[in-house]
Amino acid sequence: MKYNNQSPIAVVDSGVGGITVLRKLYKLMPNEDYIYFGDSANAPYGVKTKEEIRSLTVNACEALMERGVKAVVIACNTATSAAAEYLREKYPDFIFIGLEPALKPAALSGENPRVLVLATPLTLKEEKFDKLMARFEGKAEFIKLPAPELVKFIESGDLDSDEELAYLEEILAPYTGGRVDAVVLGCTHFPFARRCIQRILGENVLVFEGGKGAANYCRLCLKEKGLLNSEDREGTIFFENSDANKVEVSKRMFYYKG
Ligand code: DGL
């Protein structure tokens, strides 16, 4: 594993969802180069076993590390739950940035707010999530809502479809009309449906996602290790996907104004 401050940053996800994180990274560090790998051939991850997800994630990360990337952003809450700890133990000197549902800002956003957490079934059933939730006990009331179908709609690249809207209206129906104060988008695919979710739940509901925090943390880690690219240049983004048809979709989604 040879890398330096000019090496690219890898961003991995089960599919196209991590592009929401890549957008935040590129906004913050536009002079860096990125390799985005989406594993759409194996998506969705959120309904697989932890062992399967770990093995897919570790293989993807190790392949990128061999190519000399200077950090890996695991831009997927599900893959982070299943594999981040394992990877950090195996490669203690390497930078792995994980994603986790943004419970903290949501919990602190009001007086004992009711917070709806939308994520994949795997993320919500992991002990890691329960431990995170326990940190804010007494400060907020969390309601877990798995939304595996939403990943499939977003993977199709057809954002804002009628089917997607109908699905969201159905699962969010019990929480409309001011019954929640905030919603956490605990899956990196979901910010692509942010507008739709906001419209259904109401404009007063606060929406939280983890991409920006992860991008800030990535920058901090690179800085601490002297690995930030200091050149004044425009960075490149190289899109790769285990499903070749998804490469063009990924590029389009990177520029999606949603
Ligand atoms: N984007 C992923 C996440 O943040 C999961 C989507 C999937 O189920 O593949 O959890």
- 206, β-bridge pairs: 182
If you measure from the C-alpha of residue 231 to the centroid of ligand 1, how many angstroms do you get, rounded to a whole number? Answer: 33
**Signed CA dihedral, 42, 43, 48, 49: sign only:** positive
Section 36-49 average pLDDT:
97
To test the pocket of ligand 1, the residue of 11, 50, 53, 78 to mutate (highest count of ligand atoms within 8 Å of its CB) is 78
- pLDDT bucket at 258, cuts 50 / 70 / 90: low
pLDDT the model gives residue 137:
87
pLDDT value of position 256: 87
Residues that are catalytic: 76, 187
Helices and strands in the chain, H and E counts: 12, 9
Instruction: List the structure tokens of 8.
Output: 């690219």
CA of 125 to the centre of ligand 1 (A): 14
Pick the atom of ligand 1 nearest to 148's CA: 8
Ligand 1 midpoint to CA 211 (Å): 13
Whether the pLDDT of residue 257 is over 80: the answer is: no
Domains observed in the chain: 9-98+211-254 (3.40.50.1860), 103-209 (3.40.50.1860)
Q: What is the distance, to the nearest Å, from the Cα of residue 94 to the centroid of all Cα atoms in its chain?
A: 20
pLDDT tens digits, one per residue of 76-106 = 999 999 999 999 999 999 999 999 999 999 9
Q: Is the CB of 187 under 6 A from ligand 1?
A: yes
Using one digit for the tens of pLDDT, what is the confidence trace for 164-185?
Answer: 999 999 999 999 999 999 999 9
Task: Measure the CA–CA gap between 104 and 22, rounded to whole angstroms.
Answer: 22
Residue 82, ligand 1, Cβ within 6 A: no
Strand partners, 118: 145, 185
Overall average pLDDT of the 52-60 stretch: 98
How many Å lie between the centroid of ligand 1 and the Cα of residue 52? Answer: 14
Distance CA 63, CA 121 (A): 27
Helix residue ranges per DSSP H, 14-96: 19-28, 50-66, 77-79, 85-90
Calculate the CA dihedral of residues 138, 116, 28, 69 and round it to 10 degrees.
Answer: 90
Q: Where are the alpha helices (DSSP H) in 179-236?
A: 194-201, 211-224
Closest ligand 1 atom, residue 78 Cα = 10
- Residue 21: count other Cβ atoms within 10 Å of its Cβ: 29
Q: Are 21 and 214 contacting, i.e. CB atoms less than 8 angstroms apart?
A: yes
Amino acid of residue 115: V
Give the whole-number percent of the chain exceeding pLDDT 90.
97
Asked if residue 123 has pLDDT above 70, the reply is: yes
